[in-house]
Amino acid sequence: MSDTLTHDGGCLCGAVRFQIRLSTPTFNICHCGMCRRWSAGPFLAVHSDGPARFSRDEGLTWYRSSRWAERGFCSRCGASLFWRLANRPDTLAASVEALDAPERLALDRHIYIDAKPDRYDFADARPRVTEAELMAELGLSAP
């Protein structure tokens, strides 16, 4: 790793190790119900500028979580690692917490803000994007 855009990461047990390149050193927070259930809270994710490069992927498993998205996790330790569009697998979001040096990233925005429950809140002033706004941005219809 040599700059703020290239990141190494992996799961808890080491069965999945990867490197990704980002277009910006930022992350988003997703508040949708699927992400919260999958990651036990809001999903903090960076968006890869292309596919991940794997040095180890024997534990990597993909789960089709909706008609248009898949989630990647380690089948050995259970770590939640990736989200991607099923028809565009190079559109990859990786968990900030799976990265070796997440402190080099800055929060960009919140997505699915209309799905955020009242039981938690973030005090930042970053942009908030609704499900409909994000779906339009991605060129998708709501699930």
- Give residue limits of the domains in the chain: 6-138
| pTM listed for this prediction | 0.90
35 phi, psi to nearest 5 deg: -65, -40
pLDDT tier, 1 (very low <50, low <70, confident <90, very high otherwise): very low
CA-CA distance, 98 to 52, in Å (whole number)? 13
Q: Is the pLDDT of residue 29 over 60?
A: yes
Pick the CATH number of 6-138 from 3.40.30.10, 2.170.150.70, 2.40.30.30, 2.130.10.10: 2.170.150.70
Nearest partner of 20 among 71, 92, 87, 106, judged by Cα: 92
pLDDT tens per residue across span 33-50:
999 999 999 999 999 988
Predicted confidence at residue 112, as pLDDT, reads 96
pLDDT tens per residue across span 102-125:
998 999 999 999 999 999 999 999
Stronger pLDDT, 97 or 2, i.e. the higher one: 97
**74, 61 in Cβ contact below 8 A?**
yes
Which residues, in sequence order, are CB contacts of 140 under 8 Å at separation 6+?
A: 68, 85
Predicted confidence at residue 2, as pLDDT, reads 52
How is residue 63 written in tokens? 């789960």
